[in-house]
Each structure stands twice: as C-alpha cells, then as structure tokens.
Amino acid sequence: MPSDQTFHCFRCGRIYSSWFNYCSVCLNTGTIVPTARRQPTKLDMMAEISSAAEMAKTSMDLVENCYSPSFKLCRNAMVVLGGEAGAGKSSMGVRLVDSIGGPALMLSCEMGLSPALAQTLRRAKIRRKDFHIVKSGGFSWMYDFIVREKVQALLIDSIQTCHIDSDEARKLLNITPLKLLVGVSQLSRTGQPFRAREWEFESDVNVHVESGKWEIYKSRYQRAPVKGDAFEQEEQEEIVEVSDVA
C-alpha cells in the first residue's frame, strides 16, 4: 500500500494517516475506510476565466429567492448549513435550492434515496420533475449533468460524506450555469464539524441551524447576524390551508 494512503471515517469525515478500528471523534467502531483517490481529468486543466465586470456581478447581482426576504444571496454563492443531527439542515437546504427556480440537483450522500428524504421533500412540497436527486456522483459526472440539464442550484448533503472538496465545489460554480451551491455540514457526537473548516473558509455564507431556527453568522452579502425560521414557509402554507378549509 502506498505510503501516502490516507483513511477517513465515513460517519464524520475525520482524516487519519493510518487505519484504526475506532474513530476517536464520532466514537463509532468500524467506520474507518481508505480514502479513494480521484484520477485527474480534463476538467482539472480547464481554465477558470472571467473579467472584472463578471466578477463584480458575484457581489452585486442579487439572486432572487422565495425562501426568505432576509436571506440575501448573490450569483455564484456558496452556502454552508451547519448544526447537529435533526436540527433541520436538510429541510432548509432543499427549500433554499428549490427557491431559486429552474432545475435543481441534490447530491444525497447522507440519506440516499430513502423514505426519510421522501418525507423531507413532501413536507417542503417539492414535487417537480426538474428537482433531480442522485445518491452519489463524482466531480466529472456532476459537471456533465449540471451543464446538460442547465442546473441552477446544487445541494450537497452532506459535505462530510461526499467525494467533492471545497475547491472543486467552487470550480463547479465558476464553470457551470450554477447560481447557488449549498453544502450541509454534520457535527460529530463531540460537536466537531470535521472537514467543514475548509468549506466554511471558502463559502460566502455560513449558517448555523438549531431546532428549526437558522442564523447567518458570516455573509459577504449582508451584515450578520441575521435570523429566521427554517420551517416558516411551511407553517404559513399550513395556516393558509386550514383557513381555506374553515
């Protein structure tokens, strides 16, 4: 085995230089596996070319979204949603990418194509055919799909379990039609967001989600903090439905 082989915990994303039977971060046993090496492709050599005018749009050209009027986004925005399990990150993520309009793609590494994901989409009232869902996909496959389907918003759930790093995510924003990329970050049992630091540094908006509430604590588009309810839209729709029945 090559000396530069690394291992990672597929539960929390912790990187190890050698194999262990027990993850010291998320406290799970038997979750340490070899880290796969992605073979270089022609996309790695593709130049990311822009202009001063185009670069200005990334900080001035607001992207319309119907998620929340207080959640400001500009073109090519990268957003990271962090928090503990069950906080409402995935629910907020699907609503956020759905609010952009146009084709959307969800890389569902955490829930897969499970009944739990179906319930999340049902509660968010997302039923359109151009909201695409894939259980796993590499960098090259993602690029081909986004360009072919003209995907406007991408959700990665979660960044700990996917095979795309923050640099590749930024490159997808720069060389594809994407307007928004959202990454969901899971905390370990000890409260550590492993593999999330590089994403938080690279991202344009960082959001903490807890008990169905969100708070923007870093944003390049507006002054933080900004707070809101991850399920506000859903609750309003339920109130309207009840009123109509009454």
Residue pLDDT, tens place only, 59-87: 667 888 878 889 999 989 999 999 888 88
155, 106 Cβ separation under 8 angstroms: yes
Q: How many residues does the chain have?
A: 246
Residue pLDDT, tens place only, 165-174: 888 899 899 8
Residue pLDDT, tens place only, 99-153: 998 999 999 988 889 999 999 999 999 999 999 999 887 788 889 999 999 999 9
CB atoms within 10 A of CB 10: 18
Cα of first residue to Cα of last residue in the chain, in angstroms, is 68
Query: Pairing state of beta strands 104-108 and 213-219?
Result: unpaired
134 or 17: which leads in pLDDT: 134
| Backbone torsions φ then ψ of 204, nearest 5 degrees | -95, -30
